Amino acid sequence: MAFAGAELLALRGVPHFDPTGGASIVSGKWKAWLEEFEAYADSRGLFLDGCTPAQEAQRRALLLYTAGPVVRETFKTLPNKGERNEYQKATDALNAHYVVKPNATFQRHLFRKTKQEDGETVAQFVTKLRQVAIGCNFVAGDVENQILDQVVQYCRADKVRRRMLEKGGELKLNDALSMAAALEAVEGQFNSMSLRERERPRAGQVNQVSYENDRKKNLECYRCGNKGHFGKDASCPAKGKICRKCGGQNHFATMCKSKAKSTSEARGKVRDGKSREGKKYKNRVRQVEGEPGNDSDDDNSRGRDQRYYQFAVNGDHEKVPIIIGGVTVPVIVDSGSDCNVIDQILWEKLKKDKIICKSTKSTKRLYPYTSQIPLTTVGCFTATVEVGKMKSTAEFVVIKEKGEPLLSKHTSRELGVLQVGIVHVNAVQSYAGLKQEFEAVFKGVGKLKGRQVQLAVDETVKPVAQPVRRTPFGLRKKVEMKIAELIDLDIIEPVERSTPWVSPVVIVPKRNDEIRLCIDMRRVNEAIIRERHPIPTIEEVLQELSISKVFSKIDLKWGYHQLELHPESREVTTFVTHCGLFRYKRLLFGINAAPEIYQYEIHRVIAGIEGAANISDDIIVHASTQKEHDKRLKQVLGRLRDAG
């Protein structure tokens, strides 16, 4: 009985179930509540698998007690609720009463309306789609395709959608996720390097940013209740969570506005806050408090404490190799520390490596974070420390307890490995002179001179002429305008004779109320033989950028359309619209061989120019100085102009 009383006390933190609201709302609330209860019960050792009849009876009793008086009264009236030691039958009876069978038609309607939100990654979007897809009754094995279609249709980043369409029928959901993650990372890295939206701050701007930061710091998020971010931020922990009060998404029960918060929920908020706080700082911060020794004749100095902070003490990142007394040691640079600290294990190793130093006794007292028990100070030593050409003399305190080596703020600044203050970066958004000098490069859609792309087609594959996909009347005018534009730009041409290959179009709406005209090339790609030109990885490009300080990024407009197709390769690009048949005169998105072909041709154009690299239609120009960068940028623009 003592065990049962302890378990009962521990589970009182789970609030009673609130069965108010509509049937669908109560259904969602019950699922969330039961999941929370079972997690608590499992955490207390009342596992369902392999339990004895007595333990199962105890779990059943706890379920009914924790659910509250309303549920217990309802439970008495339910059929097929089993005996006192049959927990599963009890939950089955309650599920049959509270859980509403989802309406598959309505659920699919919600699925089709689900779009990627601002600030949401493609991976988060896919997770949200998986949750909505539950209850849609999609055909077995078709869920991945349904999610993939929704991602391609409603992905917010045009470049990500374009890359997905380039893969055509070969695209799988896992490939789309990997591709999207890589492109999102590259976009963030390029934006960070180019600093497009940053300028040297003016006084008024600095005050405005300070106000915005202070406002964000003090406001409480209406989704989770934490401070330091807004509800729209992707970092909010409530994103994607189900409220156990109303069954809604993207907020916690403590912040639910469906009705007044109960006392038990208020207690839950305090408990959750402590849990989050503990998780947030666990294994991240180590603080050492130190009392100065009797080195000073000033009696007042004995009452002052020094605080030393060490971050990420359990990881090997953020370490800098320095030379201490002739021995190389990786240390953590800490801008909040006034004391250099190493442990006794490292000190013994340094002595074996014959460190050159002067050892003395230490009168300093160091304390671990939140503890009144001082650390055991073994002694201290003074040695020469070096990083590259920088050299200084520093004192290190040796402690008996195990820990990572810590380099103080003062020593780090003397060695030049720590810079405190604002680093000014000039973000140059345009060069008016270069635009005038290379005016032809910045106008229209170019065409590579002296090169026609010839697609390799497997003649054993039987051509397929697919029927037209009817265009909605509301989009027909936009399709006609896009067709006329592509004809004027010499990208497509009408087809006035019979052709064995015909592909349908896919109309993709854009955020600026325009459309993107895409061709479904999946059947054609079955006959096209891919070229295997290597495409550089992000890591390879970043390695080249590591020593540069000045960057420019050139985005080639309609990149694939700048490569002309050989007349013999145009027939396979024929597509059908309500306006008739057309075919491409230029390379187009959707052909499986297009990425390798385009990468190879652009690489060939800029080959030999130091500090220039491309990934598909993005060219990055970089150098260590402004003068060197401008010279290389002119070389690249000159090559692009000469190539057409």
Domain residue extents for the chain: 23-98, 104-184, 307-415, 431-643
Mean pLDDT of 572-596: 89
pLDDT interval class at 33 (50, 70, 90): confident
pLDDT interval class at 574 (50, 70, 90): very high
Say yes or no to pLDDT of 116 above 80: yes
> 391-405, 410-424, 425-439: lowest mean pLDDT where?
425-439
C-alpha–C-alpha distance, residues 455 and 571, integer Å:
11
C-alpha–C-alpha distance, residues 441 and 642, integer Å:
9
CATH 2.40.70.10 matches 307-415: yes
Say yes or no to pLDDT of 98 above 70: yes
pLDDT interval class at 327 (50, 70, 90): very high
Mean pLDDT of 524-534: 84
C-alpha–C-alpha distance, residues 343 and 406, integer Å:
10
> 175-184, 415-424, 513-522, 551-560: lowest mean pLDDT where?
415-424
Question: For residue 325, what pLDDT is reported?
Answer: 92
> 9-18, 294-303, 552-561: lowest mean pLDDT where?
294-303
Give the containing element (helix H, strand E) for 596. Answer: helix 594-606
Question: For residue 385, what pLDDT is reported?
Answer: 93
Distance of CA 558 to the CA centre of its chain: 27
pLDDT interval class at 318 (50, 70, 90): low
Region of 292 (left: φ > 0; alpha: ψ -120 to 50; beta: rest) is beta
Pairing of strands 365-368, 285-291: antiparallel
Q: Do residues 4 and 44 touch, judged by C-beta distance below 8 A?
A: no
Q: Environment class of residue 15 by beta-carbon count within 10 Å: exposed (0-12), middle (13-18) or buried (19+)? A: buried
Question: For residue 384, what pLDDT is reported?
Answer: 93
Mean pLDDT of 184-193: 75
The answer to whether the predicted template modeling score (pTM) of the entire model surpasses 0.75 is no
Q: List, in order, residues 6 or more apart from 29 with CB less than 8 Å away.
A: 17, 18, 19, 21, 243, 244, 245, 246, 247
Question: For residue 581, what pLDDT is reported?
Answer: 92
CATH 3.30.310 matches 104-184: no
Residue with the larger pLDDT of the pair 207 and 41: 41
Mean pLDDT of 74-99: 86
Provide, for the chain, the percentages of residues in helix, strand and coil under a 3-state DSSP scheme, each rounded to the nearest 5: 45, 20, 40
Three-state DSSP class for 330? strand
Q: Environment class of residue 511 by beta-carbon count within 10 Å: exposed (0-12), middle (13-18) or buried (19+)? A: exposed
431-643 falls under which CATH superfamily?
Answer: HIV Type 1 Reverse Transcriptase, subunit A, domain 1 (3.10.10.10)
pLDDT interval class at 357 (50, 70, 90): very high
Mean pLDDT of 179-197: 73
CATH topology match: 104-184 vs 431-643: no
Distance of CA 158 to the CA centre of its chain: 17
Pairing of strands 456-457, 528-529: antiparallel
Q: Do residues 161 and 171 touch, judged by C-beta distance below 8 A?
A: no
pLDDT interval class at 216 (50, 70, 90): low
Q: List, in order, residues 6 or more apart from 522 with CB less than 8 Å away.
A: 168, 169
Hey, which of 12-16, 107-111, 193-197 has the most confident mean pLDDT?
Answer: 107-111
Question: For residue 545, what pLDDT is reported?
Answer: 78
Say yes or no to pLDDT of 133 above 90: no
Give the containing element (helix H, strand E) for 595. Answer: helix 594-606
Q: Do residues 41 and 11 touch, judged by C-beta distance below 8 A?
A: yes
pLDDT interval class at 207 (50, 70, 90): very low
Angle between helices 626-643 and 594-606 (to 10 degrees): 120
pLDDT interval class at 502 (50, 70, 90): very high
Say yes or no to pLDDT of 284 above 80: no
pLDDT tens-digit map of 135-180: 788 887 788 888 888 888 888 888 888 888 887 777 888 888 888 8
Say yes or no to pLDDT of 336 above 60: yes
Whose structure tokens read 């057309």?
Answer: 582
Mean pLDDT of 293-310: 39
**CA atoms lying within 13 Å on the CB side of residue 358:** 5
The strands making up 515-519's β-sheet, listed across from edge to edge, are 492-494, 580-584, 575-577, 503-509, 515-519
Q: Do residues 60 and 84 touch, judged by C-beta distance below 8 A?
A: yes
Residue with the larger pLDDT of the pair 625 and 531: 625
- Joined together, the tokens standing for residue 311 give 């971050």
> 15-19, 410-414, 495-499, 612-616: lowest mean pLDDT where?
612-616
Whose structure tokens read 């279609």?
Answer: 149
Give the containing element (helix H, strand E) for 359. Answer: strand 357-360
Say yes or no to pLDDT of 478 above 80: yes
C-alpha–C-alpha distance, residues 615 and 186, integer Å:
10
Say yes or no to pLDDT of 346 above 70: yes
Q: List, in order, residues 6 or more apart from 244 with CB less than 8 Å away.
A: 15, 29, 32, 33, 36, 253
Mean pLDDT of 190-198: 59
**CA atoms lying within 13 Å on the CB side of residue 383:** 25
Kindly report the average pLDDT of the chain as a whole number: 77
Three-state DSSP class for 170? helix
pLDDT interval class at 430 (50, 70, 90): low
C-alpha–C-alpha distance, residues 467 and 502, integer Å:
8
Q: Do residues 292 and 304 touch, judged by C-beta distance below 8 A?
A: yes
Question: For residue 165, what pLDDT is reported?
Answer: 85
Question: For residue 510, what pLDDT is reported?
Answer: 82
